[in-house]
Structure 1
C-alpha cells in the first residue's frame, strides 16, 4: 500500500488560462465532458481538430488520473454521473437527477436510460456498482481515496444508485464530477488492458495512442447526446514552447495550450491567430513534504513563503499573464474565500529561519515537469530560496515519471 506524502503549499501565482487558435478553429479544446464537446459550434476547416499541449497524458485510466491534461483528454471518452457547466454549476450527466436525504449521508441518483458504452453494452446501475467495486479493491487507484469514504453502494433497480457515506461530506457531489464510469466489460479485462483501451460513454471513442506523441479520438456513433462537432480530435504532446507556436503558425495545429506568455503579444492577430485569455483554475505552487524534518517547522515554511517574490515570479515566468494567489484554492472555484497572503518580505524570512535554528539554511530537492515554463519556474524558486540559505537542487522529469514518484512506498 502506498502512503501519501504529507504536504503543505508554498503559494505562488495563478496563471491566466491562455491559449491560441486559428481563426477557423474552435475557441475551446473540447476538454470538458462529452456533452460539452458535442455542443461545439465551430470546427477545424478539415473537421480534424489538432490540439498541441505542453505535456503528454499520464494515463488513460480514469480511476488513476490526477493531472488536468489527462482528465481533459479522458473527458472526451468518459462521463461521470454529474458534471460542472461553464458557470461552475453542477448539472446532470449520466444521472438525470439526484437528491440528498436529511441525514446528509444518503444520496440517490436516477440514471439516464438509453446510454451505451463504446463496446455496445448498456450503462446502468450495475455498471456504476462495478466501478465502485473496482476502486474499493485496489488501494493504488487514486479514486480509492474517494470511494473509501463511502459506506456502501446499493442498486434498488437498474436505473437507481444509492450511495451512503461514512460521515457527512460537503464535497461529495463535487467529487462525483471526477468519478467517470468505465464499461464493466473493459474492467473485467484488468488494469493493464484498461490503461491502453479506454471504454466509456463519451461523445468520442478511442482510436490510438502513441506514447509521448499523441492521442486521437473519433466520434462515437451511439452517443446519447447528439453528434460530435468534428471528425477527430488529436491531442499532441509538444513540450517545447517554440515548436508548439510554430505548429500553430504553419497550420499543423488548430489550437495550442498553453500559449507561451512571452510570445503571446507577437503572434496575436498574425496569420489568423487569436490569443484568448481568461481567469483560470490553474495554480502554480510548490508542495512541501513535511515528512522532512526541516519542513516540519512552521516557521521554516513561513520563511519560504515570505522569501518568494510573487510579483517578480509573475513578471519573469508569465510575462504578466497571471495574478497572485490569496488562498489554497483558485478564485474561480465554488466557495472561494480569500486568506491573508504572504507578501514578499526577505528580512522577515531570514528572521524566521534564524528563529527556527536554520540561519545557515539546508538543502532541498524540487521535482517538476520538464516543460519550458515549469523548468523556468523551478529555477526561479531556486534563486529566491538561496537568499535565505536554502540550496535547492532542481530535478525536471518526464510528466509520467513525476506522477509515479508523487507517492512513495512506506519506509
Structure 2
C-alpha cells in the first residue's frame, strides 16, 4: 500500500490571499501578520505615474542558475520568475504549486507528482512532466553544479505520462518536499538546446519576466500578464527593480529618501532611524539565520584537541554581545533555533554556556601552548561585524588564546576556507522553511569548510535522519546528532541567532516577509 500525501489546501484557506489595504486604502505604519508567521504589508495611497517597485538587499546576484549556489537575494528573486512543484508557508508546511498532489511509496524511494495542466513558460513552452525530468536530472547528474549534492540521491525521473512525474531515489530523501520548494522548474526544450545560455533570459512560469541584469547595479523584471495563477491578486505594478547595495548606511539612507520601496538586512542600530521616517514601516522578528565559526581541526592544529574546542565555546559571552553590541538577536547555544527541526529547549540550555573559568581550565588541560589562532571573517555576516569579532577576540584572549583576526572580502575568504588555511572561519547560514538540511548536508555530511574533523557517530545519525521521511523520527535523530556535536565541541562553534529586519514603504501591499530572510514580492501592489 502506498502512503498518500495529498495537498488540497488553497492559499486562501491558509490566510495568505488578498491583503488588506489594497486599492487606495489609508496609509498605515502597522504591518499585519499572516497565518504562517510571516508579515504582510498594508498599502497606502497610490502615487501617479508608472508603477515601479524598487527593492534592495546587501548582495548582488552572481549566478542566475538555480543550481549555481545562489546568494540569499536569489531565493526571493526566483519567486518572481519561477514556480516550484511545491509551495511553502516557510513554517514547515507544504501546498500545491506546479504539482497538484503527490504521494510517496512506503519505502520512501518513489515520489509521484500529478502536475498542473495549462501552464506555459515565458518562452511559450508548455510545462509538463518533461520539464520536471529535465530539471531534476540536471540537478542530480551534473556534478559540476554547486548544488548537485542536494539531488545526488536521485536515481532517475520518469515522465510516466504528460502530466505525471515519478522521482526514483537511490535512498530515501527525507527533506524532499522542502528541497522542491526552492527548485524552480525549467523548460526542457530550451535547456536542451541552449544549456547554460538559457539563464541569460531565465524563462520561468512565474508572475514576472526577467528583462535585464547589469551586474552590481540592477536586475529588472516586468509583470507577466498571462500568469496562470493571478486569480484576484494580479499585481498593479508594471516593473520590479532589484538593486544590490552592500553598504548598510547607503541602503538605509536611500530608503529614507524614497529611492527604495523595500530594503532588508537592516542593522539594529538603524531601526529607530527608519521607524521615525514618515511612510516607512520596520518589520523585525526572530530569524532563522545563525552565525557560527568553523574550526580547522587537522592534525597538529590547535582545534584538533577537543578541550580547545570546548574552551572556545565556553569563553564567549554570547548574551553580552547580543545585548551590548548587536542590540538584537539571541545567543545560539544549539545548532538550530526554535521552529527548526531538531530544536530542543531543554537540551539547548545544557551546552555552550558562558563560563570563563571553565574555559581557562579546559585550555590549561589541553595540548594548546599559546600558538597563534588565525581567525578570519567576511564583513557583514552580522551587524557591526568588526565590533562583534573584536569582542570575541578579547574574550578568547582573556581565556588564554593568542588570536590574530583578519576581516577580508568574500572570494578570498571562500578560497582560504576551502583550502583549510585558517583556524577559525566566521560565517552564517539561514534555515529555510524550518529545515536544517542545507547546512547539515553542506557542512556536516560533507566537509565543505575543510575542517578535517570526523565523528562517525554524528555522520551515521545525520545520514539516518536524512533518509527518514517521518518528521517526528527525523526530529529525534537530529536531536541525538546535535547532542553529540555539542559534547564533542564539533566542527562548528555556534554563536548568534540573528533577527530578520526589513523596512518597506506604506505604499506597498501584498508583500510577504518571512523570518527565514525570504521576501515574496510576487503579488506586490503599490498604491
Q: TM-score range by the shorter chain?
A: 0.7 to 0.9
- Displacement of 1:186: 4.0
Residue 351 of structure 2 is aligned with which of 326, 341, 347?
A: 341
Residue 151 of structure 1 is aligned with which of 148, 155, 168?
A: 155
Give the count of matched residue pairs.
Answer: 380
Instruction: Return the alpha-carbon distance in structure 1 between the equivalents of residues 312 and 193 of structure 2.
Output: 47
Instruction: Return the alpha-carbon distance in structure 1 between the equivalents of residues 304 and 219 of structure 2.
Output: 41
Length-normalised TM-score, structure 1:
0.82
Instruction: Write the mapping of 1:12-91 to structure 2, written as runs, cut at 5 A.
Output: 42=43, 45=47, 47-91=51-95
Partner of 1:363: 373
What's the CA shift string for 1:58-95, capped at 9, x where partnerless?
32111123432221122221222112115431111111
Partner of 2:214: 210
Partner of 1:112: 116
- Displacement of 1:25: 9.7
Cα pair 1:54 1:238 within 8 Å, conserved: yes
- Displacement of 1:329: 1.8
Cα pair 1:53 1:239 within 8 Å, conserved: yes
If asked which structure has higher relative contact order (CA below 8 Å, sep 6+), I would say 1
Cα pair 1:56 1:212 within 8 Å, conserved: yes
Matched, 1:384 2:369: no
Matched, 1:270 2:289: no
Matched, 1:259 2:282: no
Length-normalised TM-score, structure 2:
0.65
Structure 2: gaps of 5 or more residues: 1-26, 420-447, 451-527
Partner of 2:205: 201
Instruction: Write the mapping of 1:255-404 to structure 2, written as runs, cut at 5 A.
Output: 255-291=262-298, 293-319=301-327, 321-334=328-341, 336-338=343-345, 339=348, 340-369=350-379, 373-387=384-398, 388-398=400-410
Partner secondary structure for residue 133 of structure 1:
helix
CA pair 138-190 structure 1, distance change in 2 beyond 3 A: farther
Instruction: Return the alpha-carbon distance in structure 2 between the equivalents of residues 239 and 365 of structure 1.
Output: 23
Cα pair 2:85 2:99 within 8 Å, conserved: yes
What's the CA shift string for 1:278-329, capped at 9, x where partnerless?
221122222334447333333222222112211122134422x211224212
Instruction: Write the mapping of 1:82-101 to structure 2, written as runs, cut at 5 A.
Output: 82-101=86-105
Q: CA RMSD in A?
A: 3.2
- Displacement of 1:333: 2.8
Matched, 1:219 2:229: no
Matched, 1:163 2:137: no
CA pair 350-58 structure 1, distance change in 2 beyond 3 A: farther
CA pair 74-314 structure 1, distance change in 2 beyond 3 A: same
Cα pair 2:209 2:221 within 8 Å, conserved: yes
Partner secondary structure for residue 132 of structure 2:
helix
Cα pair 1:181 1:200 within 8 Å, conserved: yes
Partner secondary structure for residue 130 of structure 1:
helix
Partner secondary structure for residue 279 of structure 1:
strand
